[in-house]
Amino acid sequence: MKLFESAIIKFQDTIHAASPTRRVSVGNTSYTIPLRGELSKEHLVSYEEYFERMIQFILRDRIGTFVDVGVNVGQIMLKVKSMDPARAYVGFEPSLVCSSYVDELIRVNELTGCTIVPLALSEKRGTMTFHYSTGADPQATMIDGFWTAQNERKFEKTIFVERGDDVVRSITDDKVAILKVDVEGGELEVMAGFGSILKEDRPIVLVEVLPYLTNYTGDEVETMAFRERRCQSLMTNFYEAGYRPFRILPGMRIEPVEHFGAERFQAEMTNYIILPEEEVALFQTRLAQRDTAA
């Protein structure tokens, strides 16, 4: 089996050897980015720098593995390895197009300590329907009815899903230090599958939650009501697990939130840090000290 896998890798490398690449700086690290159309374009632009700075701030004082649910094309992976090359990284991505590209990124840049699992996570082992429009669709979702008719994805396929607790523990015995989740509406199921790790490891959770809009009309009514119910359940589950949610704001600021609703969509308002309740005071103090020192 290993000889077969090695032959496949060599074959892929031969095909890609003559393909164009570009050197891109991420932090203080220069990476080789294979140019593959939509797969590479996210690496050629810089965005959400405030979110990157928050990741870097958290990494400084937490020991353990960085778990990334929703790798897409490896944007966060490269940032994490730039900030902390020795940090163990485990990523999950159900799109085989994306996971294959990220494996290539790892090989051409000779990254170590990276494990990419071509799998989706949920609350229990089984299958779900994956809705997508392209192979690298950043808005692909496992949740039926999550998108309005205007943003409905074009295609669907059945994918296998596992519980995060089970598969992460099968990969590493290390403590999970940071759990990042970006799954376009599937946060409720993903977090439900991490109950044991939340209880035992108490990781900091970084999660994108797309809001339910409170100012909506027409065809959006049913969709937003559906999102609101799911967001309320997600909030309840965080509190029951002993976590407190804060929105990450530009300028290295955070603000407590009581819900995930919004009057209108603003991309820069959708990133959250979910802190273990026993760490909230210390984290806020450290963040304030950083602002004072700056």
pLDDT in tens, the chain (294 residues): 555 455 544 545 554 555 799 999 999 999 999 999 999 999 988 877 899 999 999 999 999 999 999 999 999 999 999 999 999 999 999 999 999 999 999 999 999 999 999 999 999 999 999 999 999 999 999 999 999 888 899 999 999 999 999 999 999 999 999 999 999 999 999 999 999 999 999 999 999 999 999 887 777 888 999 999 999 999 999 999 999 999 999 999 999 999 999 998 998 999 999 999 999 999 999 999 986 555
Q: 175: which DSSP letter? A: P
Q: b vs e for 109-124, b when ≥16 Cβ sit within 10 Å of the residue's Cβ?
A: bebebbebbbebbbbe
Give 279's contacts (C-beta < 8 A, 6+ positions apart). 202, 204
pLDDT digits (tens, 9 = 90+) for 11-39: 455 545 557 999 999 999 999 999 999 99
Q: 165: which DSSP letter? A: H
Helix pair angle (49-59, 75-83), 10° resolution: 40
